[in-house]
């Protein structure tokens, strides 16, 4: 059996942020699977069958990839950012664990990529330069009470915090509630970054104080990073630099 | 003034995990600065001046890079992994903030890379597929009490945890204390990954239960990832898969 599955991280958007390892897997694939906009990021070529699918069908997509590989295909599952961070890798393993035993014999590789928080942090400066956490603010797959608990504990730990999926049309109110909780825990002066569509032509960065932050500053393409109590702004001509020093007192 | 500084993430070790953006900056640089082993990872070429330096001189190295750029040089500061995660980006901004005002006019870019936790997670499966935190276990720049507090709060938040710099010759006892705290908070059955020298010929992965984990399982080249209470093992021929599902009950 020559089939394999590679779950590949395409990074945040720019081609220059895609690793050679991922490019190689894409060059060898017979089948490309993924959410429509991610599949659309890969150039077409003869011999590559494209299977775009809708959002929120991660498990079906994962099972489809494993079925194709079991049938001898070389399958790339395209993921935005890094596949292991709020993306397709865990969905693939959920499908694997629930599926037929022979799937466990397949050659499965996860190919890392530049996840959104690293790209956003790099464009703004270095807000994740000290201890930090990453929280998915979507409550599709976990209760809101758990999100709230994690926000409070992370604030008490004085982590910088990277927020994925801050806001969607289906959940317009969640992010506003998250900002309220963070203001209670961290106060109005804490720095917060809104980084939209990083590394694409639509890129837009904005750093404000938590007291001035509003839920409308984020959409589905926005990565939000809250600084720790030590995060600082360096003012300069043009955009300021947001960074978190390596030390604490 | 044509000088610039790019703090570039070389990824965990393999060339195929270095982004084209970083390769381009290395091709354009006049000067390469960094910790000796990272500078050694970049191929020599005519016209590139190499400035290797010792460990623990991050601020001096950063100031050197800024001085060279102010003098018109094109400077790459080589960082392992991602420069914004426990690496050179924050040191550069510390030096920038403390330095002469004209440095703030310099063209400074942070070029993201595949940080160790993403590479290690990808090789093991998908242990960071749900909310997680990243903690530097070195107490060079922060008090041990803060590390302990963060470990306990992160356990209470049920984050998966990625540990950078778990163990060094200078601090042999810190990691053993960290494991004790984690056993108290998470119990002996929690899964823990030791991933050494990922993506290099010396790569070695080991997944054990916290009750069986020992400090000697890590050295300076080891990335340690503790699962959340939901992390699971998929047994199969060869090495098992460690992953954290996207859902919680």
CB contacts of A123 in chain B (<8 Å) are: 110
Chain B nearest-CA distance from A8, in A, is 10
Chain B nearest-CA distance from A168, in A, is 18
CB contacts of A118 in chain B (<8 Å) are: 82, 84-85, 112-113, 115
Residue of B nearest to A141 (CA): B247
Residue of B nearest to A7 (CA): B122
Give me the residue from A20, A93, A119 closest to B16, CB to CB. A20
Q: How many angstroms separate the CA atoms of A14 and A55, rounded? A: 21
Q: Do A246 and B91 touch (CB under 8 A)?
A: yes
Q: What is the three-class DSSP state of B144?
A: helix
Whose tokens are 């070195």? That residue is: B138
Whose tokens are 């090789």? That residue is: B123
- List the structure tokens of B6: 């790019």
Q: Do A105 and B236 touch (CB under 8 A)?
A: yes
Q: Do A133 and B134 touch (CB under 8 A)?
A: yes
Chain B nearest-CA distance from A236, in A, is 6
Q: Do A90 and B130 touch (CB under 8 A)?
A: yes
CB contacts of A245 in chain B (<8 Å) are: 90, 93-94
Model pLDDT, residue A56: 84
Q: Do B129 and A24 touch (CB under 8 A)?
A: no
DSSP secondary structure letters along A70-128: HTT-EEEEEESB-TTSSSHHHHHHHHHHHS-GGGGGSEEEEE----HHHHHHHHHEETT
CB contacts of B241 in chain A (<8 Å) are: 93, 96, 108
CB contacts of B105 in chain A (<8 Å) are: 236-237
Q: How many angstroms separate the CA atoms of B42 and B31, rounded? A: 12
Q: Do B246 and A113 touch (CB under 8 A)?
A: no
- List the structure tokens of B96: 């920038």
Number of Cα atoms under 13 Å in the Cβ half of residue A54: 2
Q: Do B16 and A17 touch (CB under 8 A)?
A: no
Give me the residue from B21, B90, B248 closest to A146, CB to CB. B248
Q: In terms of DSSP bridges, do strands B222-226 and B191-196 run parallel, antiparallel, or are they unpaired?
A: antiparallel
- Burial group, residue B189, by CB count within 10 angstroms (0-12, 13-18, 19+): exposed
- Burial group, residue B194, by CB count within 10 angstroms (0-12, 13-18, 19+): buried
CB B185 within 8 A of CB B155: yes
Residue of B nearest to A97 (CA): B234
Determine the residue among A9, A110, A143, A145 to mutate to test chain B binding: the one whose Cβ has the most chain B Cβ atoms within 10 Å.
A110
CATH 3.40.50.300 given to domain A117-243 = no
CB contacts of A153 in chain B (<8 Å) are: 153-154, 156-157
Q: Do B93 and A234 touch (CB under 8 A)?
A: yes
CB contacts of A62 in chain B (<8 Å) are: none
Taking CA A193 as the corner, what is the angle to CA A187 and CA A194, rounded to the nearest 5 degrees? 120
Instruction: Indicate the domain borders of chain A.
Output: 4-114, 117-243
Give me the residue from B19, B131, B235 closest to A150, CB to CB. B131
- CA nearest to B110, candidates B79, B86, B136, B133: B79
Which tens digits make up the pLDDT trace of A161-173? 999 999 877 777 8
Q: pLDDT tens string for chain A (249 positions)?
A: 589 999 999 999 999 999 999 999 999 999 999 999 999 999 999 999 999 999 889 999 999 999 999 999 999 999 999 999 999 999 999 999 999 999 999 999 999 999 999 999 999 999 999 999 999 999 888 899 999 999 999 999 999 999 999 987 777 789 999 999 999 999 999 999 999 999 999 999 999 999 999 999 999 999 999 999 999 999 999 899 999 999 886
Model pLDDT, residue A120: 98
Residue of A nearest to B140 (CA): A247
- List the structure tokens of A75: 């399958």
- CA nearest to A121, candidates B163, B95, B89: B89
Helix axes A58-70, A88-98, angle to 10 degrees: 60
Q: Do A84 and B126 touch (CB under 8 A)?
A: yes
Q: How many angstroms separate the CA atoms of B129 and A9, rounded? A: 13
CATH 3.90.1150.10 given to domain A4-114 = no
Number of Cα atoms under 13 Å in the Cβ half of residue A14: 20
Q: pLDDT tens string for chain B (249 positions)?
A: 589 999 999 999 999 999 999 999 999 999 999 999 999 999 999 999 999 999 889 999 999 999 999 999 999 999 999 999 999 999 999 999 999 999 999 999 999 999 999 999 999 999 999 999 999 999 888 899 999 999 999 999 999 999 999 987 777 789 999 999 999 999 999 999 999 999 999 999 999 999 999 999 999 999 999 999 999 999 999 899 999 999 886
Give me the residue from A105, A112, A122 closest to B119, CB to CB. A112
Q: What is the three-class DSSP state of B185?
A: helix
Cα-Cα-Cα-Cα torsion A246, B1, B2, B8, nearest 10 degrees, comes to 0
Model pLDDT, residue A249: 65
Q: Do A244 and B115 touch (CB under 8 A)?
A: no
Could you tell me which residues come within 8 angstroms of residue B238 by beta carbon, excluding any fewer than 6 positions away?
Answer: none
CB contacts of A133 in chain B (<8 Å) are: 131-134, 154, 157, 159
CA B244, distance to chain mean position in Å, is 21
- List the structure tokens of B108: 């400074």
Can B4-114 and B117-243 be said to share one CATH topology?
no
Q: Do B112 and A114 touch (CB under 8 A)?
A: yes
Q: How many angstroms separate the CA atoms of B153 and A150, rounded? A: 9
Give me the residue from A114, A127, A136 closest to B19, CB to CB. A114
Residue of B nearest to A119 (CA): B112
Q: How many residues does chain A have?
A: 249
- Burial group, residue A238, by CB count within 10 angstroms (0-12, 13-18, 19+): exposed
Q: Do B90 and A129 touch (CB under 8 A)?
A: yes
- Burial group, residue B190, by CB count within 10 angstroms (0-12, 13-18, 19+): buried
């Amino acid at each position: 059996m020559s089939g394999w599955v590679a779950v590949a991280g395409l990074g945040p958007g720019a081609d220059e942020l895609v690793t050679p390892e991922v490019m190689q897997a894409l060059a060898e694939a017979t089948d490309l699977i993924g959410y429509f906009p991610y599949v659309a990021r890969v150039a077409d070529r003869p011999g590559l069958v494209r299977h775009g699918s809708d959002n929120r069908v991660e498990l079906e997509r994962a099972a489809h990839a494993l079925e194709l590989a079991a049938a001898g295909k070389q399958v790339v599952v395209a993921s935005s950012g890094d596949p292991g961070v709020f993306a397709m890798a865990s969905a693939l393993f959920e499908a694997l664990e629930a599926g037929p035993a022979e799937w466990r014999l397949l050659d499965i590789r996860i190919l890392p990529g530049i996840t959104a928080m690293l790209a956003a942090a790099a464009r703004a400066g270095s807000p994740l330069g000290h201890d930090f956490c990453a929280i998915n603010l979507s409550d599709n797959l976990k209760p809101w009470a758990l999100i709230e608990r994690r926000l409070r504990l992370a604030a008490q730990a004085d982590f910088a915090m990277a927020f994925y999926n801050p806001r969607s049309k289906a959940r317009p109110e969640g992010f506003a509630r998250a900002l309220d909780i963070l203001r209670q825990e961290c106060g109005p002066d804490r720095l917060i970054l809104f980084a939209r569509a990083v590394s694409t032509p639509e890129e837009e960065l904005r750093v404000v104080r938590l007291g001035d932050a509003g839920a409308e500053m984020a959409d589905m393409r926005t990565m939000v990073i809250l600084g720790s109590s030590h995060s600082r702004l360096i003012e300069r001509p043009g955009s300021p630099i947001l960074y978190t020093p390596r030390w604490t007192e």
